[in-house]
Structure 1
């Protein structure tokens, strides 16, 4: 019995217009609509061949493999061959082969450095349980960092107290290694710099999260401004030297310039002992990601690369590119994804690209994990632009080994613990009869987007 979607109307790999609330939803392109159509058609055919219901097929590893193969077909027909999901066609009907390709329960250490606790359709009393199911039951995520959205101090959509309650719930399941917390700081608004002491001492935060494009009256700031320097200096003084900076996904034109990355190389060079984690990596939905433009005039991810090069910040140093929402959006266009990932790995280094999903805005992050496990950059783009091959070793670094270094975790020790804690035991029992919902929670229309931070509006 599958309670969530008994007729199998939802695909396990989700292509839709959902946003994380920080950018206006973008409607699916014709190739995406065709990809979804082909995936449903293939699921019905393959389920019949295997003698099971469509829903049962879609919740299996074969369902995920079949969906990704259908996406390949649609993208190839649209001429988007620069990236693809690399898996054998037989995986659509061979369960053992499919599990080896997409999981669940593969052996990577997965540390999602950008998770969000949000209000879900289940209602406030069930929000924490929904979060736990989406992240730790329905995905292979081992550890997640809970992050925050920009807000005034007296109008936070999710407070540090609420996030800590989720951590406490996980702690009760002896999952003490599974959740880390950010502390939100916008130093250009009154009280935030002073509030850093409490975030450090009371809430045991592991990193700071800031939005340079946000501030009083819509005015942002740069990290090399006086207020940004005071923020960095205080972070160093408190001994929490991980600073996570939202770059890209601009909220609008008013402070668009502050969403770009010109300041990153400057402060990275000034403070080599501080880790700068660039959330979204400067990605902008309206900018088509191509090979890096050395003219320095391009937008999007190129603004980060230009800043690093201009300030001679070397790969694998103290600037990290994070993939939350960026990878999820680019799953719909694997050619753009190939350029984005290729550029970031070359510029920031194989040890400095971090896994993030921005879930649970997008529901369970398992579909992002399964897509990334199979994603490959075409040989043509690798040869032409010097992009790396997406090997299991490289994926493992991005999935969690890189972030473990930043957050001071030892993956083997954490994995050993999480493999047998009550969360893992509960999941193994759940996987005997899984019931993923394959839903997304983020706004899917402009009207919904405008209501995210103004529920009464």
Structure 2
């Protein structure tokens, strides 16, 4: 299939592009990121020639991925974006062993945000189904464990039903007899029937609840600390599933925009210390590069940190910051990526920053994994920002 789709090897193995997960308008690459792609393409041609193999063969190899990341470093340095880099030995662009060593890892990779569209939704969307999901996540990447999540929808128009999610979980378990896929229960408390339906979802052994505070059937969202949010949290506690995953950031539009901001997280985390709040996307807003923590900013990742600190929620407590789409988007800008990861680790806690890929909206997450494995915040940034 790869040969049919890309016979000449024109696709870079590590993707910097304007792709969206569908929740935000695509943001074009800036000049520096475009130059990074151009340099990576040129280096791929040159390195394939030096190794005496086709471009396609080179792109599919570990050296192809390493060559791409090293080219990104060169382009970023030229643009004075040196807050972080992809740390690889320069020989990895040509030496297969060096590339494999640099890109490999023994860590347990737990991706806490994955998606696909159920079969009854395929005709309307043209997006991937469960077969594609299993292929991309469990066969074509180093992912060890995944959480299958949900997108907001009316009850009668769900693009993924809990029955399909459960069936996919059973297929994954049958692959090697292990529990590698967890599932969410979708619950938006401002929609009639969702709170009442949580008990049925709990019977499927859901690991957490997924809600979107900017979404509502009438276009109006909610805050977690208001009446609707409180009903959700109290029902989760009563059912004994005390993990609430909440979409913050990646605003859909300006409608009910205030509900997309993570200003309510610290309030409910303090009020309910026995409930874990997993903040999907960490409040990041595409098109707004992140800088050092600024408590006066009032949105983005800074709003999450401010809310937690103003309410006295300790580091490594019951607030978790998730990186789905946030990491992939910021692979284009190592300064912004370094600030996001650095300030989340500093203020939310080194044990409470969660990797998520938001795939299969972006295909296989393998390129995100390889980039994340090799990324390091610069010594200069660490010394300056702590």
1:348-396 deviation line (CA, Å, top 9, x unaligned): 100000010000101100000000111111111111110xxxxxxxxxx
Query: Aligned equivalents of 2:157 and 2:16: distance in 1?
Result: 32
Q: Match for residue 118 of structure 1?
A: 117
Q: Match for residue 107 of structure 2?
A: 108
Query: Aligned equivalents of 2:69 and 2:21: distance in 1?
Result: 23
Q: Match for residue 270 of structure 1?
A: 271
Q: Match for residue 228 of structure 1?
A: 229
- After superposition, where does 1:189-204 map in structure 2 within 5 Å? 189-201=191-203, 203-204=204-205
Q: How many residues align?
A: 381
- After superposition, where does 1:119-134 map in structure 2 within 5 Å? 127-134=129-136
Q: Match for residue 328 of structure 1?
A: 328
Q: Secondary structure at the match of 1:173?
A: helix
Q: Secondary structure at the match of 2:106?
A: coil
Q: Match for residue 249 of structure 1?
A: 250
Q: Secondary structure at the match of 2:23?
A: coil
Runs of at least 5 residues in structure 2 that lack an aligned partner in the other structure: none
Q: Match for residue 218 of structure 1?
A: 219
Q: TM-score, normalised by structure 2?
A: 0.95
Whether the 8 Å CA contact 2:117–2:127 is kept in 1: the answer is no
Q: Match for residue 206 of structure 2?
A: 205
Whether the 8 Å CA contact 1:274–1:318 is kept in 2: the answer is yes
> Higher relative CO (CA 8 A, sep ≥ 6), structure 1 or 2?
1
Query: Aligned equivalents of 1:36 and 1:125: distance in 2?
Result: 26
Query: Aligned equivalents of 2:345 and 2:85: distance in 1?
Result: 17
Q: Match for residue 445 of structure 1?
A: none
Alpha-carbon offset, residue 254 of structure 1:
1.2
**Aligned residue among 149, 152, 155 for 2:151:** 149
Q: CA RMSD in A?
A: 1.8
Whether the 8 Å CA contact 1:146–1:182 is kept in 2: the answer is yes
1:49-92 deviation line (CA, Å, top 9, x unaligned): 11211111111111111000111111111121111111111111
Whether the 8 Å CA contact 1:287–1:299 is kept in 2: the answer is no
Given the superposition, is the C-alpha separation of residues 298 and 76 from structure 1 closer, same or farther in structure 2, using an over 3 Å criterion?
Answer: farther
Query: Aligned equivalents of 2:153 and 2:128: distance in 1?
Result: 24
Whether the 8 Å CA contact 1:275–1:320 is kept in 2: the answer is yes
Q: Match for residue 23 of structure 2?
A: 22
- After superposition, where does 1:64-143 map in structure 2 within 5 Å? 64-103=65-104, 106-118=105-117, 127-143=129-145
Q: Match for residue 47 of structure 1?
A: 48
Whether the 8 Å CA contact 1:117–1:163 is kept in 2: the answer is no
Q: Match for residue 373 of structure 2?
A: 373
Given the superposition, is the C-alpha separation of residues 64 and 282 from structure 1 closer, same or farther in structure 2, using an over 3 Å criterion?
Answer: same
Given the superposition, is the C-alpha separation of residues 248 and 126 from structure 1 closer, same or farther in structure 2, using an over 3 Å criterion?
Answer: closer
Alpha-carbon offset, residue 144 of structure 1:
0.6
